[in-house]
Amino acid sequence: MTETELIKWINLLIKNNNIKAFYNSALWEHTRQEVLSEQHYECQICKDKGVYTPAVTVHHIKFLRQHPELALTKSNLMAVCEECHFNIHHKQIPKEQLNEERW
């Protein structure tokens, strides 16, 4: 599959809300295994904090839906543990204060 064909396929999957098909593909699984191996199966976020946690997931730094052209670009992929991956996708955005603090 050429890069152009890959991007068209991913865009079609996004349009049809079937991105899971990409993550189930042999192409992704091969790239995923390479990234995990190259990054020694260590969560890169935990590692930056001095903690060594096994990585089981490969995360797209620039999200796949916004950047399908980077789907298999290793510089856009990072090995992470389940907890860090959850935190990336579900981080809490602080709410703005409704009134002024007066102390």
- 35-76 pLDDT, tens per residue? 999 999 999 999 999 999 999 999 999 999 999 999 999 999
Asked, for residue 8, whether it belongs to a domain, the answer is yes
Asked, for residue 98, whether it belongs to a domain, the answer is no
pLDDT of residue 95: 47
Asked, for residue 51, whether it belongs to a domain, the answer is yes
Structural domain count of the chain: 1
pLDDT of residue 101: 56
What domain range is 46 assigned to? Answer: 3-89
Asked, for residue 52, whether it belongs to a domain, the answer is yes
pLDDT of residue 102: 57
pTM for this prediction: 0.81
Asked, for residue 30, whether it belongs to a domain, the answer is yes
- 8-23 pLDDT, tens per residue? 999 999 999 999 999 9
22-61 burial code (b ≥16 CB/10 A, e <16): beebeebeebbeebbeebeebbbbbbeeeeebebebbbbe
Asked, for residue 96, whether it belongs to a domain, the answer is no
